[in-house]
Amino acid sequence: MTQKAFQDYYPEQLSHCYGCGRLNNHGLQIKSYWDGEEAVCIFQPKPYHTAIPGYVYGGLIASLIDCHSTGTAAAAMYRLQKREMDTNPPLRFITAALHVDYMRPTPIDNPLELRSKVKEINNRKVIISTTLFSRGEICARGEVVAVQMPDNLYPPD
């Protein structure tokens, strides 16, 4: 895809997240994009992201759902406000609650595809539903309650 990922709009001081920060060299550096009304993220697990041999670690799945969903929450709020993602004031969401149902073991040797939809959006809260696929099969379903980051958590520029 040639469009810019949600995470590429995050300001530098908010780009160190282990899951989605483009400046965290140890991290997952996930990228999320709009695909119509859904937000999509493709992620290739490393061989060491395993649970039992051949299958993806559930904590990685939770992490992907978490970061892709909070990124989608921010993108959705910008879109609702008809604003570009690099305009001020910045909108950044953190996770209040995360739920994951693991439907079946997730094969590790294929890219994972996460597809998210906005379930609810209002003033400072967005609920995102996310489905995780491997080889076209649903392997997990997640829901994230994302809330706008309080001003006191914003790091200095």
Point out which residues bind its own copies (CB under 8 A): 13-14, 16-19, 21, 24-27, 46, 48-55, 57-60, 62-64, 66-67, 94-102, 105, 149, 153-155
Nearer to its own copies, 14 or 114 (CB): 14
| DSSP assignment of 14-78 | G---TTT-TT-TTS-----EEETTEEEEEE---TTSBSSTTBB-HHHHHHHHHHHHHHHHHHHHH
Question: DSSP label at 106?
Answer: -
Nearer to its own copies, 18 or 80 (CB): 18
Tokens of 43: 């992620």
* Least Å from the CB of residue 111 to its own copies: 18
Q: How far is the CB of 56 from its own copies (least distance, A)?
A: 9
Q: Which of residues 76 and 146 has its CB atom nearest to its own copies in the complex?
A: 146
